A and B are shown apart, each in its own frame.
Chain A
Amino acid sequence: MPIIEVKHVSKHYPRHRGARALVGRGGILDWLRGRKRETFAALDGVSLSMEAGESLGIIGRNGSGKSTLLKLLAGVTLPTTGEVRVHGLVASLLELGAGFHAILTGRENVYLNAGLLGMRHAQVDAVFDDIVAFAGIGEFIDQTVDTYSSGMYVRLAFATAVHTDPDIFLVDEVLAVGDEDFQRRCRVKIGELREAGKTIVFVSHDLSIVNTLCDRIILLDQGKMLVRDTPQQTIDYYLRQVGRAAGVHTLALEDLEVIFCQGRLSLFRAGKEITAPGGFRLRLESMGNWYDSTGADWRVTVREPTRCVARGVMARLPLTLDFTLELSPSGLTWRMAMTRHREAPITVADALLVFPPDWNEWYYGELCGDFPEMLPGDLEWAVIVPMRHGVKEAAVASKQDSTLPAVLVECDAGDQPLQLQCWNADYISGTRIVQAARYFAQAGQAAATGVTELMTLRLDLGLDRAGLQQRLRERAREYTITSGKLQARVEPGAVLLSHGEQELTTDVHLHTQFLAAGLWNFSQTLLWDAVTREGDTLRIAGESRRFPLRQRWEISPAPGGIRFRLRFEIREAMDLQEFNVSLGLVPAYLRWSTPHESGDFPRDLVEEKTWTHLNRDYGPADYAEASGGGLPRVALRNRDANLPVHMTVLASGLSGMRILQAIRVPEGSPAFHLAPGIHDAFDGLVTLTDAP
């Protein structure tokens, strides 16, 4: 049996008119004049039925009848013709706090409001503690509501509505109130209600929320109901439909279609949406607040089939945004600029490219991997791959569905610093995000007036996964040097060594660690720039997050292996207590040796001990070596007598990884006192000798 039935419902309202609002409103004057009431139809012949446990989203422009339909379902007003039948208790979150009175205490208001929603005192008693707990009000429950912050007020109202345990929830844009944390909790709660089998009717302008929360979406247009087969198609239709407005333009080329709608971009290929319903958009951060390009008032100034220029006036910032979109066979180019009319401090401008969860594979620079599944506990965005400076390329693709096109994003901000990152959004919105953020470091530059180019994004939809992987390999080749059979691939914070197809290093690979202020810092935790290549020499630099220190690595081929140079770039004088260069080798290696002694790596792993030190003599040494297991003999050697090192050999009790470590310690003083400038720190070799 349907829980909600709406049968051929029409609703007519009296028409209001300017100053003489009473005229035509059925006022006493009209009655005397014998004038007929003039009405307009807010809803016109709407029929729908819902089964228990379904969730329905209602979208449509302002004045399309969304709220009227919700009011009819709530039983607040009657249809002019037709019938509404509802089997179950309805709580409409549209009246959050409607019955609240400022002078009553929280407790009195809860009882009053719950009473309005149809609960008896005894029923409220039973859930009262839960209400207070959910609202997080605590002691304040016995204070008058006018002492509450607006957040507490809404929380209490929401908690009351939710705890009346109704069968049907009507939700009308409530999520627009309260702070971000509360909005998130509301979304989570609504998600839970949905999973608990409650029926939910949801009205919102935020298409992404509607899309994630609703099984079914109906579109209202001038009181008439339009439905398409899938939610996606209905939203798609909605976007086209609102395309009549000034801030909307559609670009199309072959089967690719780009809809620009009030600061938001939606991409379709062969009628299928590539973007998540939230679309692609730009955000600006000023004084700690984020401003969304969708909040601007947009006007498309140049309309061509494959090109458009749009200008958006931000509502709360003294600036306009300029988007230039160009569609070509190679993809979409999206150029963003802003014009400041007054000085406005902008600290960050970031473009958010939001994809549906089906895009579950990421490509970032020369790396790739899977987006983790999103779980109900994920309330925050999660970084998927550590950010690196200088990475200008990222892509998303779908592993399981080859009909979904891979999207390659190349960004360009001239010589300005740009950060590209991949994110998983929270569980409720359930989307993948590629973020290109431009940071304005200097305050002067950030506040000046005039035109500022923000960035240009190129979206290439022409590649499939194989193409992306090919590109990845090419990119990886750029980061790889070979010396004989030894290959060294540079990744952020590590150098991976292999011999032909055989990988020699594992886990941490060739990396560095330094001890400063009592803290060990691993090279993987630094913020790395992209690799630059000069002939056969690879260079990469990583910035410490804690200390005024940058590491510069230089990797180049050398006779019998590779040369690894480490230099420290110090910005402010600082002390380093110790540092080392370590080589993490695969567990297949069996024997080790140093100039002073030699021995076997332990065969049986001692699980309870994380690290086993193998050598006893830590005197200055030039090399440490590992061999056996049919692998080429590998040695970590010091090349520069001016930078003396000590060698340590370790084995990991957990993974069995072997470590050869070249340690530099200050001789005769507690620390290296490093003045600002560049310091040579280590210059050594990793050499291979083929197994006998």
Chain B
Amino acid sequence: MGGYFYTSTGQRRIGRVPRDILRSRELLLDLVWKDLRIRYRYALMGFLWAVLEPLALTLVLTFVFTYVFGNKADAFRSGATPVAIVILSGLVFWQFFSNALNSAAQSLVDGKNLVQKVRFTREIVPLAAMGYPLVNCVIGFILLLVIQAVFGAAPGWHAFWVLPLFLVQVILTAGLALLLSAANVRFRDVSYIVGVATVFGFYASPVFYRLSWVLDGGLPPWARWLYLANPMAELLAAYRQALIENHCPDAWLWVWPVLAAVLALAAGVIVFRRSAPTFSDYA
């Protein structure tokens, strides 16, 4: 019998999640690959679009903030770094967060013909949905480094802080993706809420402005706390410190994102695993 054993009572056990995901790693990569393949198969330039899209965005932003706004955006300037780079350094990471959540939230419903018919590690589906935004983000990040080098604002050694920061962001995103995708199976409202929330979050996170403007502004304390409750606010600020200001991100910028990531992951894994075995009844 090859060691395969299935019992309906063990299906909601949380402890099995890491092993299940590890076992399905090939499937996870296959699903991501499928996603990429489907996007670009009939495109003339194929996978080149994965680079061209972020490149176009980068160029447009660079052009607008260098030549159109010119000196007017100087307030945003940080030393010698062009404004476009400052904005890009936030945008690249924000887009990963926002795109990943949106596609993950909808992923189980989109893949319902799978969910209703085959038993496999369900966590794979929302995680695979993060694959394409992740690829996009990595390419965007590389382009950012290139632009920085071109404008003579190449990041220093402290840029390596991006790696742990990004790890925190991925964990945070994965946790939220699991949570939201599971919720969306029962309540389809969730995917719309995520859509609205990420648009709102775009403005409520320091993408187009600096975190210090909010903190130094005249916000009442409760609004300040509310603003800082968004872990992406701290994360984006931390990315800028590492990439542009070239120093280790302030300690206080780490605390809440790490905590939030751990909480989100725990909540996501638990809620997902608890409801996963009966997804097929609702999908």
Residue of A28, A79, A88 near B4 (CB, 8 A) is: A88
Q: Which residues of B contact A115 (CB under 8 A)?
A: 24, 26-27, 30
Residue of A75, A82, A94, A120 near B6 (CB, 8 A) is: A75
Q: A76-B119, A92-B118, A98-B117 are in contact. Are A85 and B30 (CB under 8 A)?
A: no
Residue of A27, A74, A121 near B118 (CB, 8 A) is: A74
The reply to whether A76 and B116 contact each other, CB–CB distance below 8 Å, is yes
Q: A99-B118, A116-B118 are in contact. Are A71 and B7 (CB under 8 A)?
A: no
Is A87 interfacial (CB-CB < 8 Å)?
A: yes
The CA of A83 and the CA of B10, in the complex, are separated in Å by: 10
Is A292 interfacial (CB-CB < 8 Å)?
A: no
Tell me the residues in window 26-54 of chain A with beta carbons closer than 8 Å to chain B beta carbons: 26-28
Q: A85-B8, A120-B26 are in contact. Are A13 and B281 (CB under 8 A)?
A: yes
Residue of A13, A74, A101, A120 near B119 (CB, 8 A) is: A74
Q: Which residues of B contact A227 (CB under 8 A)?
A: none
Residue of B4, B5, B30, B281 near A77 (CB, 8 A) is: B281
The reply to whether A71 and B30 contact each other, CB–CB distance below 8 Å, is no
The CA of A83 and the CA of B280, in the complex, are separated in Å by: 18
The reply to whether B118 and A84 contact each other, CB–CB distance below 8 Å, is no
Q: A13-B281, A74-B119, A76-B119 are in contact. Are A98 and B113 (CB under 8 A)?
A: yes
Q: Which residues of B contact A116 (CB under 8 A)?
A: 27, 114, 118, 120
Question: Which stretch of A103-111, A283-291, A373-381 is in the interface?
Answer: A103-111
Q: Which residues of B contact A98 (CB under 8 A)?
A: 113-114, 117-118
Is B9 interfacial (CB-CB < 8 Å)?
A: yes
The reply to whether B30 and A111 contact each other, CB–CB distance below 8 Å, is yes
The reply to whether B117 and A92 contact each other, CB–CB distance below 8 Å, is yes
The CA of A115 and the CA of B125, in the complex, are separated in Å by: 13
Is A453 interfacial (CB-CB < 8 Å)?
A: no
The reply to whether A77 and B280 contact each other, CB–CB distance below 8 Å, is yes
Is A78 interfacial (CB-CB < 8 Å)?
A: yes
The reply to whether B118 and A78 contact each other, CB–CB distance below 8 Å, is no
Q: Which residues of B contact A83 (CB under 8 A)?
A: 7-9
Give the Cβ gap from A103 to chain B, nearest Cβ, in Å: 5
Over the window 127-152 of chain A, the binary record of Cβ atoms lying under 8 Å from chain B Cβ atoms (1 yes, 0 no) is 00000000000000000100000000
Is A588 interfacial (CB-CB < 8 Å)?
A: no
Is B31 interfacial (CB-CB < 8 Å)?
A: yes
Is A413 interfacial (CB-CB < 8 Å)?
A: no
The CA of A112 and the CA of B125, in the complex, are separated in Å by: 13
The reply to whether A104 and B34 contact each other, CB–CB distance below 8 Å, is yes
The CA of A111 and the CA of B34, in the complex, are separated in Å by: 11
The reply to whether A87 and B4 contact each other, CB–CB distance below 8 Å, is yes
Which of the listed residues B11, B34, B118 has the most CB atoms from chain A within 10 Å of its own CB?
Answer: B118
Is B78 interfacial (CB-CB < 8 Å)?
A: no
Give the Cβ gap from B271 to chain A, nearest Cβ, in Å: 15
The CA of A13 and the CA of B278, in the complex, are separated in Å by: 10
Q: A28-B189, A104-B37 are in contact. Are A95 and B26 (CB under 8 A)?
A: no
The reply to whether B189 and A112 contact each other, CB–CB distance below 8 Å, is no
Q: Which residues of B contact A92 (CB under 8 A)?
A: 117-118
The CA of A84 and the CA of B31, in the complex, are separated in Å by: 29
The CA of A90 and the CA of B6, in the complex, are separated in Å by: 9
Q: Which residues of A contact B8 (CB under 8 A)?
A: 72, 75, 78-79, 82-85
Q: Which residues of B contact A111 (CB under 8 A)?
A: 30
The CA of A483 and the CA of B126, in the complex, are separated in Å by: 93
Give the Cβ gap from B25 to chain A, nearest Cβ, in Å: 10
Give the Cβ gap from B62 to chain A, nearest Cβ, in Å: 34
Q: Which residues of A contact B282 (CB under 8 A)?
A: 14
Over the window 50-86 of chain A, the binary record of Cβ atoms lying under 8 Å from chain B Cβ atoms (1 yes, 0 no) is 0000000000000000000001101111110011111
Tell me the residues in window 36-52 of chain B with beta carbons closer than 8 Å to chain A beta carbons: 37-38, 41-42
Give the Cβ gap from A380 to chain B, nearest Cβ, in Å: 33
The reply to whether B118 and A86 contact each other, CB–CB distance below 8 Å, is no
Residue of B5, B34, B117, B186 near A94 (CB, 8 A) is: B117
* Closest A residue, CB atoms, query B2: A89
Known: A78-B278, A92-B117, A120-B26; 6 extra A-B contacts, CB below 8 A, are A3-B1, A71-B116, A79-B8, A98-B114, A111-B30, A112-B34
Chain A residues in the interface with B (C-beta under 8 A): 3, 13-14, 26-28, 71-72, 74-79, 82-90, 92, 94-95, 98-99, 101, 103-104, 108, 111-112, 115-118, 120-121, 144, 167
A/B interface sample: 25 pairs, CB < 8 A = A14-B281, A28-B189, A75-B277, A76-B280, A77-B281, A79-B8, A83-B8, A83-B9, A84-B6, A85-B6, A86-B5, A87-B6, A89-B2, A90-B6, A94-B117, A98-B117, A98-B118, A99-B118, A103-B38, A108-B33, A115-B26, A115-B27, A118-B4, A120-B26, A167-B1
